[in-house]
Chains A and B, each alone.
Chain A
Amino acid sequence: MAKNSIKWDGVARDQMNHRGTRTEREMAQRFKGSNLFLTALLCLVSRYHAAGLGDLLDRASQLSDKLHSLSTSLTNELDTHFPPMGKILMPRPSMCHTASLQTPHDKDQALRVPESELLSLARALLLSWNDPLLLLSAEAPSLSHPHNGAIYSKTRELQDQSNNLSSGLDRLVHKIGTSSKSLSPLPFKGGDLGGDKNSRLINFYFLLSCFRRDSHKIDNFLKLLRCRAAKQDIC
């Protein structure tokens, strides 16, 4: 009797499993259907929803803030053991390689520039620094500085942050639209930092100070854009 009952239980269980799989399949199909529907809905909503720009700009300005703070900390790190004569011997007033990019240099000018142009400027500026950052991270380990390990790790971090922000800016450009002026990133021609270790250090510092300035510029532009996207009259 017991055997029979067990057998029957097993059969019953199998039947139930079959039933279970069937219901599961149905449920999965239903789920897939609902999923598709939801995604379609989201797409539509996101297309016509304008508040996304503010959030995007918010996020972008956060990233640019992070980038600027990283460059500042790196500059400070370098300052701790920079030869005092270096600052005097620094090539000045020489120009950074991005100086030819015509960016607004005060607030009134910046407020007058249209948003798309400002965004394009920021993006072009950022993209111009891809190669120099590579050079910086390549030169950092062999730098004649006691903290070259920390410097190297920070340059790597800079690269990552820069990549993050550039992808975000690409999305923003798609959203806001490209500017009338075609702004392309500037090529970096300085392939080497120099021969002897002192000149290498000085050139490294100079390049980094240029980057710090440009990162501040990008951050400022994005913050202005954020304000303009949120409140038109106050900004």
Chain B
Amino acid sequence: MTIITSFAGVLAQISEGATHFAVDNSDKGVENMAASLFIILIFLSCLFLGTGAASDGGAAMPSEALSQDPHFTGCLSRDLQTFRCWWNAGSFQNLTDPGALRVFFATSRSSEWRECPEYSASVPNECYFNKSHTDIWTKYCIQLRSQAQNITYSDLCFDVENIVYPDPPIQFNWTFLSVSRSGLHFDIMVHWEPPPSAEVKSGWMTLVYEVQYRETNTSRWITLEQEKGTQQSIYSLHTGTEYEVRVRCKMRLFENFGDFSETILVYIQPIPTKESQFPVTRVLIFGAVGVGILLLLIIFSQQQKLMVILLPPVPAPKIKGIDPELLKKGKLEELSSILSSHYMYQPEPYQEDDWVEFIEVDTGEPCEKQGADSDTQRLLGSGPGLLGFKDDDSGRASCYDPDFPDPEIPELPLPKQGLGPAHLATASSTSPSPTAVNPVHPLIQTQLGTQTWVNMDFYAQVSDVTPSGGVVLSPGQQGGAPQEVEEEKKKEKEGEEDKEGEEREKEEERDKSKKKEVEKFQLVVVDPEGGAYTSERDARQISAEFKPGQGYTPAPPQAPAPGVPMGGYQSPYLLIEGPPCPPLPPVSDYTVVQDVDAQHSLLLNPTPPEPQIPQPPTPAKPLPAMPVGYLSPDLLGNITP
């Protein structure tokens, strides 16, 4: 201010002198001189005022409320070749004059402190380090000192490569890449050039770039990955939306990004699609769904048929004309009728008649006669005790035949005896179909009966078995002995299956046979695997081969315990002497078992004229009158000798 006033005073004096000079000389020249002098004065004053104002402005910089020391605000380099540093006087107003604060620096190379090589003329509080004063890969330390260098306000140390903030890339622009088929999305490629200040071509600086974009008027920028090259593609932008894109760069493997470039705007009109796309996909979807539903409907409606087609049922084994249900339920009568109607067993019906015939013809045994039909029926019918009689099919009878007389003939050697029962046992045990037994009886019996032995008994007692396998029969009474023998044979043969009742039955039969004086017959089974019947020829053979005189020896008197189940034919042969129907002149050794009750007692044919007196038989004694209709187990014990 004092300078200005003094200067103003000087100017006034000059102007006075000038006017005086002008008055002395001509009037025009003096006027010109005065005007130019006046202009010069004004210019100079403005200049001084300007500097004063500048210094005033410097001092008038907004100062922080808090008192703050002068400090460095930052240092940065743009090109890794030069750098600048700025400082702030802080709240110290008096230090704002130029030269009030001084900057000194030192490097690791030259460790003495040197003052800032160049204080920027244009920018205040800036120290500029030019190329010659910039060493890369050296540590710089700068200090802010007072003018007198007695106070160090702040200091800063750095490496130049760590303060590099590159300039923003230039020539930033975008090009259209492609648009999607739906016309909703498009891709662009943005490209730029590295900042000219950065020496990239020579390899001095390696820059990486980062592109950011966003929809206009949104707040969040989307950052893409750093790129070493000078272009970047942006995918999947929406048509009809305006986008802003910008880019910045930094030195590779250093942290400081430079400023962003100016943002460019990207916009593409939405393209109306020529072809409507979605009906195709929708039609396909609907079609697939419809087809699926149709298939499901078909499957569910035609489930049975499909199951049959896909998984055909396996045919179960069945016999023609026979319902497996019958077998399950055990209605053997029906089954027997069915089987009887089977072609295999065709001869049976008429033979049944013959059987009946025979029963009728056979007058020797009233008891037999009476119960003929019922006998046959009961024989044929099912009964728990008679199950054992029901042998299997015809083939077995022949197997059995050699074994028939084994248990009845005690004179046979034991192994054979043992063999016999075993054979019978096995044979009988393996016989599955009970109904096959029935035809066996009538077949053999009728065959024998019809052909040759019209006058003979229906039963014959087996007295011996020849080694050749022939059965030696002892002829029973004229009436029914052979038949009885047959029947007994069959019964005994099949009796293995049913333990107690069968045993008793057999024993009874044997008892009966023992009673009688029987003729011996020889039954030769010629065709073991043939039918269960012997042919006419065979029967004749049998009769021819019969050797008279072969009596049968009674079994050793062994009393089997009643009720004891006997596995084989170990039971001794029981001689039952005495006819079951005593007054009959030919008293048959056998009687027909009518039925077996639940207690496994044999129900015999009642003989009306005979008193039913249970009397234990004795060997070679006539059997006392027995209760024909009923034989209890203990009675059976009595019977045995």
**Given A92-B157, A216-B161, A235-B203: A107 and B138 within 8 A (CB)?**
no
Q: Which residues of B contact A44 (CB under 8 A)?
A: none
* Chain-B contact segment, one of A14-22, A179-187, A189-197, A218-226: A218-226
Contact between B137 and A103 (Cβ–Cβ < 8 Å)? yes
Contact between B204 and A220 (Cβ–Cβ < 8 Å)? yes
Contact of B203 among A105, A108, A213, A226 (CB under 8 A): A226
Cβ of A222 to closest chain B Cβ, rounded Å: 9
Provide the B250-265 mask, 1 if CB < 8 A to any CB of A, else 0. Answer: 0011000000000000
Contact between B107 and A234 (Cβ–Cβ < 8 Å)? no
Q: Which residue of A lies closest to B201 (CB)?
A: A234
Contact between B135 and A106 (Cβ–Cβ < 8 Å)? yes
Contact of B202 among A68, A92, A95, A111 (CB under 8 A): A111
Contact between A93 and B106 (Cβ–Cβ < 8 Å)? yes
A133 at the interface (CB under 8 A from B): no
Which residues of A (156-214) have their CB < 8 Å from a CB of B?
213
**Given A68-B253, A213-B137: A106 and B202 within 8 A (CB)?**
no
Q: What are the nearest 7 A-B pairs in CB distance?
A: A223-B203, A105-B135, A227-B203, A235-B202, A93-B108, A93-B139, A72-B253
**How many angstroms between the C-alpha atoms of A46 and B131 in the bound complex?**
42
Contact between A213 and B159 (Cβ–Cβ < 8 Å)? yes
**Given A69-B253, A92-B141, A216-B161: A224 and B202 within 8 A (CB)?**
yes
Contact between B131 and A106 (Cβ–Cβ < 8 Å)? yes
Which residues of B (398-431) have their CB < 8 Å from a CB of A?
none
A99 at the interface (CB under 8 A from B): yes
A123 at the interface (CB under 8 A from B): no
B80 at the interface (CB under 8 A from A): yes
Cβ of B375 to closest chain A Cβ, rounded Å: 76
Which residues of B (152-178) have their CB < 8 Å from a CB of A?
157, 159, 161
**Given A68-B253, A72-B253: A105 and B137 within 8 A (CB)?**
yes
Contact between A93 and B137 (Cβ–Cβ < 8 Å)? no
Which residues of A (81-123) have their CB < 8 Å from a CB of B?
92-95, 99, 103, 105-108, 110-111
**Given A105-B135, A106-B81, A106-B131: A95 and B108 within 8 A (CB)?**
yes
**How many angstroms between the C-alpha atoms of A224 and B204 in the bound complex?**
6
Cβ of B208 to closest chain A Cβ, rounded Å: 12
Which residues of B (74-121) have their CB < 8 Å from a CB of A?
80-81, 106-109, 111
**How many angstroms between the C-alpha atoms of A227 and B199 in the bound complex?**
12
Cβ of B132 to closest chain A Cβ, rounded Å: 8
Q: Which residues of A contact B141 (CB under 8 A)?
A: 92-93
Q: Which residues of B contact A223 (CB under 8 A)?
A: 203-204, 206
**Given A93-B141, A217-B137: A107 and B253 within 8 A (CB)?**
no
Cβ of A11 to closest chain B Cβ, rounded Å: 57
Q: Which residues of B contact A105 (CB under 8 A)?
A: 109, 135-138
Max chain A C-beta neighbours (<10 A), residue from B161, B199, B202: B202
**How many angstroms between the C-alpha atoms of A107 and B131 in the bound complex?**
9
**How many angstroms between the C-alpha atoms of A107 and B135 in the bound complex?**
9
Provide the B192-204 mask, 1 if CB < 8 A to any CB of A, else 0. Answer: 0000000101111
**How many angstroms between the C-alpha atoms of A194 and B296 in the bound complex?**
82
Q: Identify 11 new A-B residue pairs, CB closer than 8 A, beyond the known A93-B108, A107-B136, A223-B206.
A: A93-B107, A105-B137, A105-B138, A107-B199, A107-B202, A213-B137, A213-B159, A216-B137, A216-B161, A217-B137, A224-B203
B134 at the interface (CB under 8 A from A): yes
**How many angstroms between the C-alpha atoms of A227 and B203 in the bound complex?**
7
**How many angstroms between the C-alpha atoms of A42 and B252 in the bound complex?**
38
Cβ of B200 to closest chain A Cβ, rounded Å: 10
Q: Which residues of A contact B161 (CB under 8 A)?
A: 213, 216
**How many angstroms between the C-alpha atoms of A226 and B206 in the bound complex?**
13
In the complex, the number of residue pairs spanning A and B with C-beta atoms less than 8 Å apart equals: 61
Contact between B106 and A106 (Cβ–Cβ < 8 Å)? no
Q: Which residue of A lies closest to B139 (CB)?
A: A93
**How big is chain B's contact interface, by range?**
20 to 34
Q: Which residues of B contact A227 (CB under 8 A)?
A: 201-203
**How many angstroms between the C-alpha atoms of A227 and B106 in the bound complex?**
33
Q: Which residues of B contact A234 (CB under 8 A)?
A: 201-202
Cβ of B50 to closest chain A Cβ, rounded Å: 39
Q: Which residues of A contact B252 (CB under 8 A)?
A: 65
**How many angstroms between the C-alpha atoms of A234 and B202 in the bound complex?**
7
Contact between A107 and B81 (Cβ–Cβ < 8 Å)? yes
Cβ of A72 to closest chain B Cβ, rounded Å: 5
Max chain B C-beta neighbours (<10 A), residue from A99, A107, A235: A107
Q: Which residues of A contact B131 (CB under 8 A)?
A: 106, 108
Q: Which residue of A lies closest to B203 (CB)?
A: A223
Cβ of A49 to closest chain B Cβ, rounded Å: 23
Q: Which residues of A contact B107 (CB under 8 A)?
A: 93
Q: Which residues of B contact A95 (CB under 8 A)?
A: 108
Cβ of B582 to closest chain A Cβ, rounded Å: 90
**How many angstroms between the C-alpha atoms of A99 and B108 in the bound complex?**
9
Cβ of A114 to closest chain B Cβ, rounded Å: 16
Q: Which residues of A contact B137 (CB under 8 A)?
A: 103, 105, 213, 216-217
Q: Which residues of B contact A213 (CB under 8 A)?
A: 137, 159, 161
Q: Which residues of A contact B199 (CB under 8 A)?
A: 107
Provide the B55-83 mask, 1 if CB < 8 A to any CB of A, else 0. Answer: 00000000000000000000000001100
Q: Which residues of A contact B106 (CB under 8 A)?
A: 93
Can you offer 23 A-B residue contacts whose CB atoms are under 8 A? A72-B253, A92-B157, A93-B106, A93-B141, A94-B108, A105-B135, A105-B136, A105-B137, A106-B134, A106-B136, A107-B202, A108-B131, A110-B204, A213-B137, A213-B161, A220-B204, A223-B204, A224-B204, A226-B203, A227-B202, A234-B201, A235-B202, A235-B203
**How many angstroms between the C-alpha atoms of A211 and B80 in the bound complex?**
19
**How many angstroms between the C-alpha atoms of A183 and B157 in the bound complex?**
31
Q: Which residues of A contact B111 (CB under 8 A)?
A: 93
**How many angstroms between the C-alpha atoms of A235 and B202 in the bound complex?**
4
Q: Which residue of A lies closest to B134 (CB)?
A: A106
Q: Which residues of B contact A226 (CB under 8 A)?
A: 203
**How many angstroms between the C-alpha atoms of A226 and B320 in the bound complex?**
103
Provide the B360-388 mask, 1 if CB < 8 A to any CB of A, else 0. Answer: 00000000000000000000000000000
Q: Which residues of A contact B203 (CB under 8 A)?
A: 220, 223-224, 226-227, 235
Cβ of B78 to closest chain A Cβ, rounded Å: 13
Cβ of B255 to closest chain A Cβ, rounded Å: 9
Contact of B157 among A93, A107, A235 (CB under 8 A): A93
**How many angstroms between the C-alpha atoms of A226 and B204 in the bound complex?**
11
Cβ of B554 to closest chain A Cβ, rounded Å: 77
**How many angstroms between the C-alpha atoms of A197 and B106 in the bound complex?**
31
**How many angstroms between the C-alpha atoms of A224 and B253 in the bound complex?**
17
Q: Which residues of B contact A94 (CB under 8 A)?
A: 108
**How many angstroms between the C-alpha atoms of A177 and B603 in the bound complex?**
134
Which residues of A (52-67) have their CB < 8 Å from a CB of B?
65
Cβ of B155 to closest chain A Cβ, rounded Å: 11
Cβ of A88 to closest chain B Cβ, rounded Å: 10
**How many angstroms between the C-alpha atoms of A85 and B30 in the bound complex?**
76
Q: Which residues of A contact B159 (CB under 8 A)?
A: 213
Q: Which residues of B contact A65 (CB under 8 A)?
A: 252
**How many angstroms between the C-alpha atoms of A83 and B58 in the bound complex?**
40
Q: Which residues of A contact B204 (CB under 8 A)?
A: 107, 110, 220, 223-224
Q: Which residue of B lies closest to A227 (CB)?
A: B203
Q: Which residues of A contact B81 (CB under 8 A)?
A: 106-107
Max chain B C-beta neighbours (<10 A), residue from A65, A72, A106, A226: A106
Q: Which residue of B lies closest to A231 (CB)?
A: B201
**How many angstroms between the C-alpha atoms of A106 and B107 in the bound complex?**
14
Q: Which residue of B lies closest to A99 (CB)?
A: B108
Q: Which residues of B contact A216 (CB under 8 A)?
A: 137, 161, 253
Q: Which residues of A contact B201 (CB under 8 A)?
A: 227, 234-235
Q: Which residues of A contact B138 (CB under 8 A)?
A: 105
Q: Which residues of B contact A106 (CB under 8 A)?
A: 81, 131, 134-136
Q: Which residues of A contact B135 (CB under 8 A)?
A: 105-106
Which residues of B (131-149) have their CB < 8 Å from a CB of A?
131, 134-139, 141
